Amino acid sequence: MDKEKLGLIHIYTGNGKGKTTAAMGLVLRASGIGLKVIVGQFLKGRETGELKTLALLPGVEVFRGKPLTKFSFQMSDGEKEEVLQSHNHFIGELAQRCTETKADLLVLDEVIGACGTKLLDEKLLLDFLKNKPKHLEVVMTGRNPSEALLEMADYVSEICKRKHPFDRGIPAREGIEK
């Protein structure tokens, strides 16, 4: 693999199911050819099926931000500030880990949602993207990316919901949606 060809920025967005699933597919592909991968998850608190599998993949490290038990609209101002500071620190830790390990792929799962809900300072993310190691491929997931993030991206894939079982009252199912 010619790592000089790496270094692009991906966004998987939209209101449909599959943003994280698409990112994890790329992790699987990258691990399969021996790339070093770091996955950082924002806004997620519960255990999911992909975490168990990612732990088995060679060259893949997973880090999770502050586990959340509430949606942002349910949080007090103090809780929001605590999560914001935690996530701001977390993005710095991920950047440092990428440099230390010479990672080839960084997946920032739900980082766009963290920025959109003001639970991550988007300026920190934009600064990281501008100054990232040249060969580091970055994937970001989440809804409603800002114009600044869209402008920085090389790929933008929008996943459109046409139908979803949740609309009929069917909650997320283990192994399928979580």
pTM of the entire predicted model = 0.91
Q: Specify whether the CB–CB gap between 149 and 112 falls below 8 A.
A: yes
**CA 80, CA 60: separation in Å to the nearest integer?**
30
Task: Classify 169 in phi/psi space as left (phi over 0), alpha (psi -120 to 50) or beta.
Answer: left
Q: Specify whether the CB–CB gap between 147 and 5 falls below 8 A.
A: no
Q: Return the closest-CA partner of residue 15 out of 159, 157, 178, 141.
A: 159
Identify the pLDDT of residue 68.
81
Identify the pLDDT of residue 52.
87
Identify the pLDDT of residue 104.
98
Identify the pLDDT of residue 177.
75
- DSSP secondary structure letters along 72-123: GGGS-HHHHHHHHHHHHHHHHHHHHHHHHHT-SEEEEETHHHHHHTTSS-HH
Distance from the first to the final alpha carbon of the chain: 32
pLDDT in tens, the chain (178 residues): 677 788 999 999 999 889 999 999 999 999 999 999 999 999 887 788 788 899 999 999 999 987 787 788 888 889 889 999 999 999 999 999 999 999 999 999 999 999 999 999 999 999 999 999 999 999 999 999 999 999 999 999 999 988 888 888 888 877 777 7
Identify the pLDDT of residue 95.
96
Identify the pLDDT of residue 62.
96
- Report the chain's C-alpha Rg in angstroms: 16
Q: Return the closest-CA partner of residue 37 out of 12, 6, 5.
A: 6
**CA 30, CA 105: separation in Å to the nearest integer?**
8
Identify the pLDDT of residue 100.
96
Identify the pLDDT of residue 176.
76
Residue labelled with tokens 């519960």: 46
